[in-house]
Structure 1
Amino acid sequence: MHERTYLDHNATAPIRPEARAALMDALDATGNGSAVHGEGRGARATIEAARAKVAALVGADARGVVFTAGGTEADTLALTPDFFRGEERLGCDVLITSAVEHAAVLRGHRFPVEQVDVLAVDSRGRVELEELDVALAHHAEAGRRALVSVMLANNETGVIQPLAEVARRAHAHGALVHTDAVQAAGRIPVSMRALGVDLMSLSAHKIGGAPGSGALVIADPDLRPAPVFSGGGQERGRRAGSENIPSIAAFGAAAASAGSAVEDEVVRIDALRERLESALRCEFPELVLLVGDVERLPNTSCVALPGVPAENLVIALDLAGVAASAGAACSSGKVTASHVLSAMGVPERIARSAIRLSFGWSSGEEDVDRALGAFRRVWPGLLRRARAA
């Protein structure tokens, strides 16, 4: 079988060796983390060790880490009108978010539709701060408290949002701030304290952990969002159900591995992406590189061959041994029009041709070589068909 190159880390990353080892060790152990006997205490120790490692990855207090089944559940847990500190209710009357958020935020919140404001973004996909100011002032004047949710980095384009400034402006109006940092954590240095956000969603499998684990990190450990479902008192009463200890253990190991190398990895991965993009621009003048002139994740490229449906390019690359992605493929298994690119005002002919190439911890120079070879094989035929259409 021919070697393949995997350029879809933003969808899911290969499991790291450290995470695999932690997963297998936890599978071999027995014990419920809520039990008081020796096996239960061992399970609890595994959970708490992982909690500390996840907190360290994003510069947070371990007491604020709530383990979930993934990033989607973490978003849903965070995006509620009802927060509590002890018995005191800290209600939010409106959700303010951006047009380029992941579907887990745009469709996964627990606010009535009429209590949601969706902010426009500029041509590079960054939230319009002036529009945020207007929305915050409008709701504050009406006596409404807002919950603002803006992602740290976009899953399709890699564009990094001015999140610290979003948080500063939101807090000036008494709002709470949530960020979906699923794509950013472990790929760039992330400090929850420096960003000034109140809630942050994470996902294990994006950084080389096992599927089935994520986390909502809460800056104030005493702040409690209304649970999604009720049951036992796990996770300090914030998320009912016995913890998925093997996946949590793997999450902790992946977080420690990613965090220890993140600064070096930023340089290494950025060099891979730059080499790929430079060669593609040089060899294929018809190629459009989207958001190449704005701060973005070092691992993510969004490119298009106008007139060629993204699905055709993804399939052609797959047959040539390269795994890439497009549109909302990570959530539906199908290639659909990108709401992100549409919100940015990208012409439909380009938006429907855009694909995503994303590197990660397992990527190397050979992946760039194989990707370029695949493009050289498939591009001429795709271009001929596009010109003939």
Structure 2
Amino acid sequence: MTDIAVTLADKRGTLPAEDKLGFGKIFTDHMFAMDYVEGKGWHNARIVPYGDYDISPAAMVLHYGQAIFEGMKAFRTEDNRIVMYRPMDHLKRFNNSADILTIPRMDIDVVHAGLRQLVELEKHWVPKALGTSLYIRPFVISIDPYVGVKVAEQYTLFIILSPVGAYYASGFKPVKIKVEEHFARAVKGGLGEAKTPANYAASLKASEVAKEEGYTQVLWLDAIEKKYIEEVGTMNIFFKINDEIITPELDGSILNGITRRSVLQVAKSWGMKATERRISIAEVYEAHAKGQLQEVFGSGTAAVISPVGELSWKGKKITINNNQIGETSQKLFDYITGLQQGRVADKFGWVEEVAKL
């Protein structure tokens, strides 16, 4: 196992009031970093004080966007254990994104060891209130000072931590989503399957337009036919039709969400029919017209489960489940958050204990 050097911060911060956390604006005292140089590989794994990082104005990430990231969480359980949710699954997906962006694969055992050590060091930053967590953001950037187009030869990997409140300020209640008809986010054979900044940059314009119209997010359709459902801006999407949970199949343009996997496994363990297949927006609207569309909800690390109360497509709005939280959405939210915070027995082996307070 690679030794991880530790340099402690001179001063240690304190966790703010848990009702003032917001999302992604507060950071802990330390971060993990590791470097890559062509011919030497990944090396210099270290934990250092959180702070600004100098790069050249010619750093390739600033010009060509060769970068990837992940998002996962740690939680404080009711008995004051610090746990992470499916960290190795996230790190395996991290390497998949690296492959797509032609970034050298990492030894995820080393990254995992560094992550555990970092979270243990910062355990006093993990909030306890329901809906709060310690958000974990691993990312890699290309740093070669070069403005020619090529695969970079130098990279830095970071992991930073942020104590967060609920992702949606409005809390766990149905959101309004606009079905995107004009803009395109990703195509098969592109970057859609990777967690890379470019995917999120491509979604911003449509999201801003939707917000101006009163919607929380957009639901993306396939870029070619504008017919088949893909995912929401920050979530995978599910439809409950005639007691069957349906989510778009993975086809190279949809993120393989860790919470998405959890929903499918949990639903099947409950004896529910849960299907991954191609589904069109027309089918969803037809199911609504027939009274067969029971629920719509998103899934993701940040929000866990996000019920959808309204869809708008081609100017036609439909209300789902009387704009109320559906039974399945609530049950899944309670179960997965219960797993994460130690209130539900972990029969799947998804929760990893890191430390105790």
Q: Does the alignment reach a TM-score above 0.5?
A: no
TM range (shorter): under 0.3
TM-score by length of 1: 0.24
Structure with bigger helix share is 1
Of the two structures, which has the highest relative contact order with CA contacts closer than 8 Å and spacing of 6 or more? 1
TM-score by length of 2: 0.25
